[in-house]
Amino acid sequence: MVMKGEERPVRKPPIPLLLVVILLLGTLLPQRAEADRLRLIRDAEIETIIRTYSTPLFQAAGLSPQGIRLYLVQDRALNAFVAGGLNMFINTGLLMEAEHAGQVIGVIAHETGHLSGGHLATRGTALEQTRGALIATYLLGLGAALATGEPGVGAAVISGGQDVALRGLLQYTRTQESAADQAAVTLLKATRQSPRGLLEFMQKLEGQEVLLTDNQDPYLRTHPLTQERITFLENAVSESPFADLPATPELTMMHDRMRAKLIGFLRPLSQVLRVYPEDDVSLPARYARAIAYYRVPDIDKALVEIDGLLAENPEDPYFRELRGQMLLEHGRVAEALPEYQAAANALPNAPQIRQALAKAQVQMNDPEMDRAALVNLAETLRQEPSNPSAWRLAAVAHGRLGDQGMTALALAEGALARGRFAEARDRADHAIGLLEKNSASWLRAQDLKNEAERRVKRAE
């Protein structure tokens, strides 16, 4: 994956399975710069880390952790925001620039304050409806950013999506910002964590106030910063009984691994080696280099790094997943399978890993592997029912096994998830004629056809 503005290697790198970018296409606001478009990425490990950071804060705020969706935005700028209901977005730039877990946790606490304070609901019904429609466009297709390794999959899913004008849609008032700060301090105290990280993050932004707007980080533009807010946080740190309490060793390692992983995937090799030189034998450094070498691609060097990590941490599911990814991308499917299987055994409820395993199984072109793939895809789709790429894999597996009815149904589900409602209606109608009448699958095809017809009429 080559990001805009990065060095291009001589050979085209493989498309990473862990981090697949969705480009939001459309012309609603054509005057918007590229920076105002969101690129969402997926990674099982990083999403788990962010969920670990945020769950205690959500619970302390009286919010259901399961009801809040967390998304990673591929963007170098320091930013995080909530939008479109209970959806929280965090930029990779913020995660990579944060010096320790406490800074990220502080920002999440602040954004949780916006959610618990109902600030999204105060910006006007029309504005909310506009933003909600835009957010829904890419939330519908987000599942397609799973580990498929297919060029353009995100663009296919989000075709017809719209640009999101962040500056206009995500602007907070100073009153709301102060209220979110106060809520953040309360939540951090309730979870026995220091507010120092939030203060440090705000101090990073404080010096940017004199910059021209286009040079400021988006967080500063959409979250007005005042001296009163800095003073409030300084006082909160001085009064907090947990002010000097560092993050636990577990959280520290999570942050270091997350940062290394993002740098390895999103920065060119030359930059990765400056941050993590070859004489740095720490776990995060070797992790970042393994990913960076894989992306060049230099599979031999990549395997040396990941094999060294696995020799020390043989049960680590994310190292197993990465090794499987490296091998699969280089056509060594049979060698990749046990790596993905080990990762799935360790994390049976991780939909992205189960889908990656299913993809490898489908590539084996063996009936038994197709049946095993359908089991893994069932778990993925149980958690992510609007995952088009998982439905496509399911259609392939059902088709090879000769089940035309289920193939048609899977294709209908995938079309609905992609927003292709007329196609979904027609494929569901085809499935109805093939499936056993009154079976669960037949009834699902009926429901899907009716839903697709409603969507078609709504679009007319």
pLDDT for 8: 31
Per-position DSSP letters for 188-246, written without gaps between them = HHHTT--THHHHHHHHHHHTTTTS-GGGS-HHHHHS---HHHHHHHHHHHHH-TTTT-P
Is the model's pLDDT at 28 over the cut of 80?
A: no
* 3-state class (DSSP) for residue 247: coil
Structure confidence at residue 448 as a pLDDT band (50, 70, 90) = very high
25 DSSP 8-state letter: -
Cβ(140)–Cβ(417) under 8 Å? Answer: yes
Q: What is the mean pLDDT of residues 373-379?
A: 97
Centroid of chain to Cα 317? 18
- Closest of 163, 220, 197 to residue 95, by C-alpha: 197
Overall fold of domain 22-239: Zincin-like (3.30.2010)
pLDDT for 155: 30
The tens digit of pLDDT for each residue in 312-371 reads 999 999 999 999 999 999 999 999 999 999 999 999 999 999 999 999 999 999 999 999
Is the model's pLDDT at 441 over the cut of 50?
A: yes
Percent of the chain with pLDDT over 70: 75
Structure confidence at residue 79 as a pLDDT band (50, 70, 90) = confident
The tens digit of pLDDT for each residue in 403-427 reads 999 999 999 999 999 889 999 999 9
What are the CA-CA distances from residue 240 to residues 96, 236, 245, 247, 261 (Å)?
A: 27, 6, 10, 15, 33
- Closest of 292, 327, 289, 318 to residue 305, by C-alpha: 289
Q: What region, left, alpha or beta, does residue 175 occupy, with left being phi > 0 and alpha being psi -120 to 50 degrees?
A: alpha
pLDDT for 287: 98
The tens digit of pLDDT for each residue in 212-227 reads 344 445 555 556 566 8
Q: Which of 20-34, 95-109, 159-173 has the lowest mean pLDDT?
A: 20-34
- This prediction has a pTM of 0.80
Cβ(198)–Cβ(107) under 8 Å? Answer: yes
Q: Number of H helices and number of E strands within the chain?
A: 22, 5
Q: Which of 12-21, 123-132, 389-398 has the lowest mean pLDDT?
A: 12-21
The tens digit of pLDDT for each residue in 128-186 reads 443 444 444 444 444 333 333 333 333 332 333 333 334 444 455 677 888 899 999 99
Higher-pLDDT residue of 127, 311: 311
pLDDT for 27: 24
Token pair recorded at residue 147: 């580990």
Where along the chain do its domains lie? 22-239
Instruction: Enumerate residues 6+ apart whose C-beta is below 8 A from 257.
Output: 45, 49, 283, 284, 287, 318
Higher-pLDDT residue of 84, 4: 84
Q: Which residue bears the tokens 């030189």? A: 277
Q: What is the mean pLDDT of residues 435-446?
A: 96
What are the CA-CA distances from residue 341 to residues 299, 335, 345, 373 (Å)?
A: 21, 11, 6, 11
pLDDT for 10: 33
Q: Which amino acid is at 26?
A: G
Higher-pLDDT residue of 241, 32: 241
Q: What is the mean pLDDT of residues 382-395?
A: 93
The tens digit of pLDDT for each residue in 34-62 reads 334 567 888 999 999 999 999 999 999 99
Q: What is the mean pLDDT of residues 8-12?
A: 34
Cβ(437)–Cβ(460) under 8 Å? Answer: no
Centroid of chain to Cα 197? 23
Token pair recorded at residue 94: 């913020």
Structure confidence at residue 81 as a pLDDT band (50, 70, 90) = confident
What angle, rounded to 10 degrees, do the helices at 404-417 and 440-459 form? 30
Q: Which residue bears the tokens 């909310």? A: 128
Token pair recorded at residue 274: 């400056």
β-bridge pairing 80-82 and 39-41: unpaired
C-alpha span between 332 and 271 (Å, rounded) = 29
C-alpha span between 288 and 262 (Å, rounded) = 8
Cβ(117)–Cβ(180) under 8 Å? Answer: yes
Q: Which residue bears the tokens 């259901």? A: 64
pLDDT for 218: 52
Cβ(19)–Cβ(266) under 8 Å? Answer: yes
Q: Quote the mean pLDDT of the chain.
A: 81
Per-position DSSP letters for 48-108, written without gaps between them = HHHHHHHHHHHHHTT--GGG-EEEEE--SS--EEE-SSSEEEEEHHHHHH-SSHHHHHHHH
pLDDT for 178: 86
- Partnered with residue 90 across adjacent β-strands are 72, 80
Q: What is the mean pLDDT of residues 242-246?
A: 94
